[in-house]
Amino acid sequence: MKNPDSEVIKILEERIKELKEAAEVLELLSHDKKTREIYESRQKAIHDQITNLQGAVMEAIDL
């Protein structure tokens, strides 16, 4: 590795960290139905909030 502090290396390290965290979440969810239901409910709420915000932005643009 020529430059371990390069931007590409930093991005890859962050992506690997994100993937490890996602794998840990998936592992937990696969074992516990209640935790999975809570997670899915939270994800739906986040998705709904994003959709509402996007709609508000589009409405504001049309004004």
Whether 44 contacts 37, CB under 8 Å: no
The 10s digit of each residue's pLDDT in 2-24 is: 666 688 878 888 889 888 888 88
Q: For tokens 């965290």, name the residue.
A: 21
d(CA 12, CA 34): 33
Q: Tell me what pLDDT residue 41 has.
A: 94
User: Would you say how long the chain is, in residues?
Assistant: 63
Q: Taking the complete model, does pTM exceed 0.85, yes or no? A: no
Whether 35 contacts 42, CB under 8 Å: no
| Mean pLDDT, rounded, of the chain | 85
Q: Tell me what pLDDT residue 3 has.
A: 63
Q: Tell me what pLDDT residue 2 has.
A: 61
Q: Is the pLDDT at 36 greater than 80, yes or no?
A: yes
